[in-house]
Amino acid sequence: MHRKARVDDIRLIHREINLLAAEGKVLPRSLNDLYTHVRDLHVWIDDGLKTIVGWCALHVMWEDLAEIRSLVVAKAHRRRGIGRGLVEACFAEARELGLSRVFALTYETEFFRRVGFRIVDKQVLPQKIWSDCLNCTKFPDCDETAMLIDLDP
Ligand SMILES: CC(C)(COP(=O)(O)OP(=O)(O)OC[C@H]1O[C@@H](n2cnc3c(N)ncnc32)[C@H](O)[C@@H]1OP(=O)(O)O)[C@@H](O)C(=O)NCCC(=O)NCCS
């Protein structure tokens, strides 16, 4: 089951994101960053366990552009469609907001290809450079792949 995140979800998300960040899979995020962007976050609740088993953020970048960030599905729950469900929830929110394009910077190119994204040159995402890249630990040697989807209206 999908729902938007609440502030009492943040401690768990923070702990798990930073464990995966240590493996180099996602970027680390501070508690302050997660609390102040809680409205970006979607979570997936396992119906049986009643616990959060995945999350994903949709961050608006510009008038037509948003980014999928911090997408994680707990290891024991992967390959069951949860990642797709979270990304599709972000697409639905993006459409409601009137956005036409969503991108991700990722190592998981096959997953993103299967949910509709295509690989693009990072140069097509100038707003990303203006905002976050300059402060990222990977800048200017980012080895992630930029992927983009044009949403149907
Ligand atoms: C990437 C991730 C979110 C995928 O979540 P998931 O719940 O396993 O994905 P789904 O089950 O919804 O998979 C959707 C499709 O992608 C495919 N897929 C998922 N992970 C894949 C992988 N690592 N390699 C190739 N294909 C993959 C699935 O087979 C499925 O294909 P299909 O629908 O055509 O049969 C998960 O592996 C993860 O949390 N990884 C670590 C964190 C990370 O790298 N996040 C991305 C940050 S941008």
As a whole number of angstroms, the distance between CA 62 and CA 40 comes to 14
Residue to mutate, 17, 78, 109, 145, ligand 1, most ligand atoms under 8 Å from C-beta? 78
Mean pLDDT by 10 residues, the chain (153 residues): 97 95 89 97 95 97 94 97 98 97 96 98 81 78 92 84
* Structure confidence at residue 119 (pLDDT): 98
- Ligand 1, closest atom to CA 106? 48
- Ligand 1 centre to CA of 68 (Å) is 14
* Structure confidence at residue 136 (pLDDT): 79
* Structure confidence at residue 24 (pLDDT): 84
* Structure confidence at residue 126 (pLDDT): 80
- Ligand 1, closest atom to CA 26? 47
Architecture of domain 2-150: 3-Layer(aba) Sandwich (3.40)
- Ligand 1, closest atom to CA 54? 39
* Structure confidence at residue 135 (pLDDT): 75
Give ligand 1 pocket residues (Cβ under 6 A).
Answer: 20, 25-26, 71-73, 78-84, 104, 106-108, 110-111, 114
* Structure confidence at residue 61 (pLDDT): 92
- Ligand 1 centre to CA of 150 (Å) is 20
* Structure confidence at residue 36 (pLDDT): 98
* Structure confidence at residue 153 (pLDDT): 73
- Ligand 1, closest atom to CA 79? 11
The residue extents of the domains of the chain are 2-150
For atom 18 of ligand 1, the residue with the nearest CA is 111
> How would you write the chain as a 3-class SS string?
CEEECCHHHHHHHHHHHHHHHHCCCCCCCCHHHHHHCHHHEEEEECCCCCCEEEEEEEEEEECCEEEEEEEEECHHHCCCCHHHHHHHHHHHHHHHHCCCEEEEEECCHHHHHHCCCEECCHHHCHHHHHHCHHHCCCCCCCCCEEEEEECCC
